[in-house]
Structure 1
Amino acid sequence: MAKTDFKSVDEYQDTFGSEKKERLAAIRNAIRETAPDAEEVISYQIPAYKHFGFLIYYSAATNHISLSYPYSEALLAEFKTELSGYKMSKSALQLPDKDPLPLDLIKRIVAYRMKENELAAASKPQKAKKK
């Protein structure tokens, strides 16, 4: 993947071969189904989705696809059992190319992140409107 100035998710995904591109598209569709109003952006040169802040990122690597999202202790506790079968770093969950994508898990993580972001936004003090 030589190009590194992506302007859209399509442009990012088009740089990969058909099998990886299909997996990326499946993740994109799962996110869009769960968060249809989320803004699709490129951030750090990878696909990202925003809904009251960043929800989730994803990116392709040689042998896996990484899902990155702002971890919270609550999220990790909620999905502890399901996440235990995957390799995780401080910032990403690795989905091996040899395994089927856990699309239901991805949808539930996105829904959970949406609720976290909505609650965080609702708890922020509202700025006074100028008269």
Structure 2
Amino acid sequence: MYNDAVTAYISGFEPTIRERLNALRTVFHEELPQTEESIRYRMPAFTVGEKGYLYFAAYKQHIGFYPVYGLVKLAPEIEQYKAKKAKDTLHFMHDQPLPLALVRQIIRYKSK
């Protein structure tokens, strides 16, 4: 189910960033049709599994994707996106394509 607060968050960005955020949002709903959206910690949050959340947030240079701890099986794939100074965070740089297939894998893994 779509949430008006998440829609408002996304609409606050320039069109190219908005498109990227909407692509991530769509992947969540395709992979987890029952996901619930909300704003938590001032960023879009999506329920995964019984008690978990995944988040994303847009910044000037990148989109942050959180938290990504416990993804040992996906370690080689996520390595190039790991944030340098932030633990359990991926950075998807705006000048690079979004790794939507990887995001799908993360959502599936975290929802188990």
TM-score over 0.5 (shorter chain):
yes
Q: 2:25 aligns to what?
A: 28
Matches within 5 A, 1:1-131: 8-51=5-48, 52-69=50-67, 71-72=69-70, 75=71, 77-88=72-83, 89-115=86-112
The percentage of aligned residue pairs carrying the same residue is: 33
Q: 1: distance between equivalents of 2:80 and 2:30?
A: 25
Question: Over alpha carbons, which structure has the higher Rg?
Answer: 1
- The answer to whether the Cα contact below 8 Å between 2:68 and 2:89 also exists between their aligned partners in 1 is no
Q: 1: distance between equivalents of 2:109 and 2:82?
A: 20
Change in Cα spacing, 1:28 to 1:62, as seen in structure 2 (3 Å) is same
Q: TM-score by structure 1 length?
A: 0.76
- Between the two proteins, the alignment pairs up a number of residues equal to 106
Q: TM-score by structure 2 length?
A: 0.88
Which 5+ residue runs of structure 2 have no aligned equivalent? none
Query: Which deviates further from its counterpart, 88-97 or 10-19?
Result: 88-97
CA-based RMSD of the aligned residues comes to: 1.3
